[in-house]
Amino acid sequence: MKLPFSWRATAAGAVAVATLVAGGSVAGAAPAAEPTAAAAAPDIPIANVKAHLTQLQSIATANGGNRAHGRAGYLASLNYVKAKLDAAGFTTTVQRFTASGRTGYNLIADWPGGDPNQVVMAGSHLDSVSSGPGINDNGSGSAAVLETALAVARSGHQPAKHLRFAWWGAEELGLVGSRYYVSSLGSANLAKISGYLNFDMIGSPNPGYFVYDDDPVIEQTFKDYYAGLGIPTEIETEGDGRSDHAPFKNAGVPVGGLFSGADYRKTSTQAAKWGGTAGQPFDRCYHSSCDTTANINDTALNRNSDAIAYAMWELSQ
Ligand code: TRP
Ligand code: ZN
């Protein structure tokens, strides 16, 4: 049993009587093999997340080695993600914008149902830099958010709040896609967003476990997940406002997120508690051509993928 979630009162306020969401079966959704509590988040299959990364790598390889804004590899990445979501029953929207003289695209996926005045969002940037395939930055977040969305569909999950997932274009040009989305929403629609969760680099090869120090409820949700695994976390310090949560935060939306580290070096204290190599960057291939499928720590990617699902389930009921 959970207490009513008093995280952020929406302007719309009155969510009448707490209607019981019937845990009814959803046509087409196969029942889970192991019985779980009605609203428990599923384990996100790491093999599925890695299969998405393999596809993003292939897309980069077939398109000049990158998936950057304005290049063929970006649109191919977007079409890959969109096709999976469409097949799973999401309502997808492609939002176009212009940056540096080229067309960019955001992909928004809404899961039908839930209170439209209380939207819980997860997002990640789908573009790479032009110098490499961008598998950790940010295939990792993109693949994990995609697999979380697909897990929502597989489980027939119908939370009280409305779920929305997003893949941003042109983050590497200065958060262009997410800024465009936030400015396009308008204040009334922005006020309906209960929280925005950002995932940018979550499978770093020499990983740290960093939680954004922003909305306290979102932050605590991620900390609870990691406490349950017995893994210490730290506050993210590689640069506040350096990813797509910043436009949301600036517009007054509660934000949070996870990060496994970019070009900062792991200290000996961090290596003692997390393993890995002290004195080396969390991601030595950050923004480089070696940010390939070999540049992923599976354990970090697995834990962070499960943490996304945990937070989306916890914060939406
Ligand atoms: N957003 C950066 C990029 O894509 C990576 C990054 C650096 C980052 N510091 C961060 C992401 C802190 C999240 C939080 O190049
Ligand atoms: Zn990034």
Q: What is the pLDDT of residues 131-180, one digit of tens each?
A: 999 999 999 999 999 999 999 999 999 999 999 999 999 999 999 999 99
Percentage of the chain beyond pLDDT 90 is 86
Distance from Cα 239 to the centre of ligand 2, integer Å: 12
Task: Give me the amino acid identity at 169.
Answer: G
Q: What would the two tokens of residue 180 be?
A: 């465009």
Record the pTM.
0.89
What ligand has the least distance to the C-alpha of 260?
1
Which ligand 1 atom lies nearest to the CA of residue 245? 13
The two most distant CA atoms of the chain are separated, in Å, by 55
Q: Which fold would CATH assign to domain 74-316?
A: Aminopeptidase (3.40.630)
- C-beta of residue 136 within 8 angstroms of C-beta of residue 203: yes
Rounded alpha-carbon distances, angstroms, from residue 254 to 10, 138, 159, 161, 188? 12, 22, 19, 15, 15
- Extents of the domains making up the chain: 74-316
Task: Give the neighbor-by-neighbor strand order of the sheet with 91-99.
Answer: 91-99, 102-111, 161-168, 115-125, 193-199, 255-259, 210-211, 234-235
Is 171 in the active site? yes
**Residue list, ligand 1 pocket, CB within 6 Å:** 137, 171-172, 200-201, 236, 238-239, 242-243, 259, 262
Q: What is the C-alpha to C-alpha distance for residues 134 and 132, in angstroms, rounded to an integer?
A: 6
Least Cα distance to 111 among 78, 145, 159, 178 occurs for 159
Tell me: the pLDDT tens digits for 181-223?
999 999 999 999 999 999 999 999 999 999 999 999 999 999 9
CB atoms within 10 A of CB 183: 12
What ligand has the least distance to the C-alpha of 243?
1
pLDDT band for position 256 (cuts 50, 70, 90)? very high
* Burial class (CB within 10 angstroms; exposed 0-12, middle 13-18, buried 19+) of 164: buried
Q: What are phi and psi of 13, to 5 degrees?
A: 60, -110
Given the residues 147, 171, 219, 314, select the one marked as catalytic: 171
Q: Mutation test of ligand 1: which of 135, 199, 242 has the most ligand atoms closer than 8 Å to its C-beta?
A: 242
